[in-house]
Amino acid sequence: MMKTHLTTATLLVALCCFHVASGVIHIHQYFYTCTSGIPNFPEFVAVGVLDGQHVSQYDSFTKRMVPKEWMAKEGDSDHWNWETKKVDFHAARFKVDIGDLTSRFNQTEGVHTWQNVFGCQWDDESNAVDEFDQYGYDGEDFISLDLKNLRYIASNQRAVLTKNNWDNGRVDLDLWKNHYSQYCIEWLKKYVQYGNSTLGRTVSPEVTLFQKDLGVVCHSTGFYPDGVVITWKRDGEDMHKDVNMGETLPNEDGTFQKRAELLVSHEERKKGQFTCEVAHKSGKPIIKTLIVEDGNNLVGIIIGCGVAALVMIGVVVAIAMMKKKGYNKASQSDAGSDSGSDTSAPLQGKEPSVVTAEHGE
Spans in the chain with pLDDT lower than 50? 1-22, 296-359
Residue ranges matching CATH 3.30.500.10 in the chain: 2-198
CATH classification number, 2-198, choose in 3.40.50.740, 3.30.500.10, 3.30.420.10, 3.40.50.2000: 3.30.500.10
With b meaning 16 or more CB within 10 Å and e meaning fewer, what string describes 230-264? bbbbbeeeebeeebeeeebbbeeebbbbbbbbbeb
Q: Find, among 130, 67, 58, the residue nearest to 91 by Cα.
A: 58
- Taking the C-alpha atoms of residue 190 and residue 79, their distance in angstroms, rounded to an integer, is 12
88 and 347 Cβ atoms separated by less than 8 Å: no
Overall CATH class of domain 206-304: mainly beta
- List of residues 6+ apart from 348 with CB closer than 8 A: none
pLDDT score recorded for residue 11: 38
pLDDT score recorded for residue 74: 60
- Taking the C-alpha atoms of residue 312 and residue 317, their distance in angstroms, rounded to an integer, is 16
pLDDT score recorded for residue 294: 54
Residue ranges matching CATH 2.60.40.10 in the chain: 206-304
Q: Find, among 335, 334, 315, 333, the residue nearest to 325 by Cα.
A: 315
- Taking the C-alpha atoms of residue 5 and residue 27, their distance in angstroms, rounded to an integer, is 17
pLDDT score recorded for residue 32: 97
What is the DSSP code string of 146-211? ETTTTEEEESSGGGHHHHHHHHT-HHHHHHHHHIIIIIIHHHHHHHHHHTHHHHT--BPPEEEEEE
